[in-house]
């Protein structure tokens, strides 16, 4: 009951207007608030104060981290869309090459056939592949492994010999790539796998699977 009474008094005296004009004795008139001992306290209206409470620093950091992650995923998605059709083409080429090599009578015929395939691929895709970024190239290496089950290093070694494979592996390392990289859809490459599944569900690049 005492708390209710005190609260009522506070509300009541909050409504008493405060006077800011000077009296005859050069004093400032104001409202008063009675004390239990008979004394009074001056009562004034104060201007409203707006207090802006900013988000804590860790919330800002988390928000920025989420935005950065969204940007990274968007870039990854773009890069996968760019690289994936070349991985499908590579898978088809390798499948066809393996089938043709099995028909040829000797190593000389195989070399001639491989040179022709290499020349055809260069004429069709050399400029396009050179325009891929380092990130897209790294993704392409992984996706070729996904589609063929073979490492790019092994593919080059089988088709062009061990020396060429070593040379290309060295070049790949310079550009922060690794031709021995294997695809890991469960852990390291799970975000890439999500994009690949999205592409396949939408039926994009279906034409590149025609001969797979």
* pLDDT digit string, tens, across residues 56-97: 777 778 888 889 999 999 999 999 999 999 899 888 888 888
21, 29 Cβ separation under 8 angstroms: yes
pTM flag (> 0.85): no
Query: 21-34 pLDDT, tens per residue?
Result: 445 555 666 777 77
Same domain, 98 and 202: yes
Are residue 22 and residue 88 in the same domain, yes or no?
A: no
**Interatomic CA distance for residues 24 and 142, integer angstroms:** 91
Length of the chain: 212
Are 205 and 85 in contact by the 8 Å Cβ rule? The answer is yes
The gap from C-alpha 106 to its chain's centroid, in whole angstroms, comes to 50
Q: Do 96 and 211 touch, CB atoms closer than 8 A?
A: yes
Domains in the chain: how many in total?
Answer: 2
* 90, 183: one domain: yes
Angle, CA 119 vertex, CA 142 and CA 156 arms, to 5°: 35
171 lies in some domain: yes
Whether 152 is covered by a domain: the verdict is yes
53: in domain: no
CA nearest to 30, candidates 22, 20, 40, 38: 20
Q: Are 20 and 91 contained in the same domain?
A: no
26 falls within a domain: yes
Question: Is residue 92, in this structure, part of any structural domain at all?
Answer: yes
64 within some domain: no
**Cα separation of 90 and 14, whole Å?**
81
Tell whether 186 is covered by a domain: yes
Q: Which domain holds residue 16?
A: 2-43
Q: Is residue 66 part of a domain?
A: no
pLDDT per residue as tens digits for the range 124-135 = 777 787 788 888
CA-based nearest residue to 139, from 69, 209, 47, 75: 75
Angle between helix axes 152-160 and 162-174 (nearest 10 degrees) is 140
Tens digits of per-residue pLDDT, 131-168?
Answer: 888 888 889 889 999 998 988 888 878 777 765 665 56
Same domain (yes/no): 86, 191: yes
In a shared domain, residues 89 and 138 = yes
111 and 19 co-located in one domain: no
H runs (alpha helix) in the chain: 2-14, 57-101, 107-130, 134-148, 152-160, 162-174, 190-202
Cβ atoms of 87 and 143 closer than 8 Å: yes
């Amino acid at each position: 009951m005492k708390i209710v009474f005190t609260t009522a008094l506070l509300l009541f005296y909050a409504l008493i207007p405060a006077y800011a004009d000077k009296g005859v004795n050069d004093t400032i008139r104001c409202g008063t608030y009675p004390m239990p001992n008979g004394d009074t306290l001056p009562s004034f209206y104060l201007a409203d104060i707006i207090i802006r409470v900013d988000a804590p620093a860790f919330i800002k950091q988390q928000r920025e981290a989420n935005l950065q992650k969204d940007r990274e995923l968007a870039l990854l998605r773009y890069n996968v869309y760019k690289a994936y059709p070349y991985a499908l083409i590579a898978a088809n080429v390798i499948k066809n090459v393996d089938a043709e090599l099995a028909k040829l009578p000797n190593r000389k015929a195989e070399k001639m056939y491989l040179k022709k395939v290499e020349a055809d691929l260069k004429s069709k895709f050399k400029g396009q592949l050179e325009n891929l970024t380092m990130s897209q190239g790294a993704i392409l290496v992984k996706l070729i492994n996904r589609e063929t089950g073979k490492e790019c290093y092994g593919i080059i070694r089988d088709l062009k010999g061990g020396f060429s494979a070593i040379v290309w592996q060295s070049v790949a390392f310079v550009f922060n790539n690794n031709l021995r990289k294997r695809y890991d859809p469960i852990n390291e490459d799970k975000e890439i796998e999500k994009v690949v599944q999205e592409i396949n569900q939408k039926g994009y690049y279906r034409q590149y699977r025609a001969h797979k």
